[in-house]
Amino acid sequence: MHFADRLIQRCHERNSRLVVGLDPHWDRIPASFKRGFAPDDYCGVISGFLTHVIDVTHEHAVAFKPQIAFFEQFGLAGMEALVKVLAHLRVRHCLVLMDGKRNDIGSTAAAYARAFFGQGDQPAGFPSDALTVNAYLGSDGIKPFLQSPNHGIFVLVKTSNPSSGEFQDMKFGSGASLAQTMAAAVRQWNEPTIGESGYGNVGAVIGATYPEHMAALRREMPCSLILVPGYGAQGGSAQAVKAAFNEDGLGALINSSRGILFPAEFEKTGFEAIREAACDAREDINRIVALRDL
């Protein structure tokens, strides 16, 4: 089924716009959970912790976003954990937005696309429904990711980190910034992919830490899904979250990672604290969306 249509359908089914980020910071995984494993059992700890997280949050989330770097840092053990986590997400029928920020020249971009989306009889090594990509190489680095309507991409447009403006806010002779120019490209790439929901498979990443940019970039890409990092632990604002949505109350996916995975109450109530954190995040986002109409 068309990727964006599936996501919008999931938003309706769960009354949610929440994406749970799976960023297994090793030092923040609770010591009480680690005690059940050998000290160097990175695969067991990471996959065990995250499968529990998925079990208690999937009813509140429209998708999950594994950040691949947190798995890659542990080499083969980390990648084995990722494979196990992806398998569990499939068992739970969850949508997977892989945060890999991949891209390269055409042939290499095609290999990245096969790694996450598969091709023909070749299954994906790390099966995902969507992938974050860096479009710095231009359109020939984007096209390999758009071969199937069942998969989507989220192009980096305006990221949430403090130094993003060093390049993304630079302006051309036309007066448009690099971020605005990238948003215009996203709109062009997205138009042929628009599904029955009114949204297409080429989305954008725009951080919640820059509300002054969000509204203008949303107007530039009315039919693109916007993946919004920076909500919660990174201090993203409600104003930016609100501006990411269209008038239909849809079109944006708000990611929360640390705020859900590592609640302060975990040592008291265990994974129930994570369930409550996900529920609270969903309700908070829905409240912000509702305020958009006032």
The residue with greater pLDDT, 161 or 182, is 182
Q: What is the mean pLDDT of residues 193-216?
A: 94
Please report, as a single letter, which amino acid is at residue 62: V
pLDDT tens by residue, 9-34:
999 999 999 999 999 999 999 999 99
Give me the residue label for tokens 């998969």: 151
Q: Structure tokens of 200?
A: 């297409």
pLDDT at 281 over 90: yes
pLDDT of residue 117: 98
pLDDT at 132 over 70: yes
pLDDT at 139 over 50: yes
Q: Give the pairing type, strands 252-256 and 152-158.
A: unpaired
pLDDT of residue 243: 93
Please give the tally of structural domains in the chain: 1
* Residues designated as active site: 101
* Average pLDDT across the chain, whole number: 94
In angstroms, the CA 230 to CA 30 distance is: 23
Which residues make Cβ contacts (< 8 Å) with residue 236, sequence separation at least 6?
160, 207, 208, 209, 228, 229, 230
Q: How many helices (H) and strands (E) does the chain have?
A: 13, 8
Q: Do the Cβ atoms of 207 and 157 come closer than 8 Å?
A: no
Domain that residue 259 falls in? 3-291
pLDDT of residue 292: 61
Q: What is the mean pLDDT of residues 225-250?
A: 84
pTM, two decimal places:
0.95
Residue 117: how many CA atoms within 13 Å on its side-chain side?
25
pLDDT of residue 240: 86
Handedness of CA 118, 136, 143, 231 (dihedral sign): positive
Q: Do the Cβ atoms of 178 and 169 come closer than 8 Å?
A: yes
Q: Which of 181, 79, 89 is nearest to 138 (CA)?
A: 181
Q: What is the mean pLDDT of residues 149-176?
A: 93
pLDDT at 256 over 80: yes
Q: Structure tokens of 72?
A: 């890659």
Give the helix, strand, coil percentages of the chain, each rounded to 5: 50, 15, 35
For 122, which DSSP code?
A: B
- In this prediction, residue 294 has a pLDDT band, given cuts at 50, 70 and 90, of very low
List the CATH number of the domain containing 141: 3.20.20.70
Q: Which of 1, 4, 38, 256 is nearest to 154 (CA)?
A: 4
Q: 50 burial class (0-12, 13-18, 19+ CB within 10 angstroms)?
A: buried
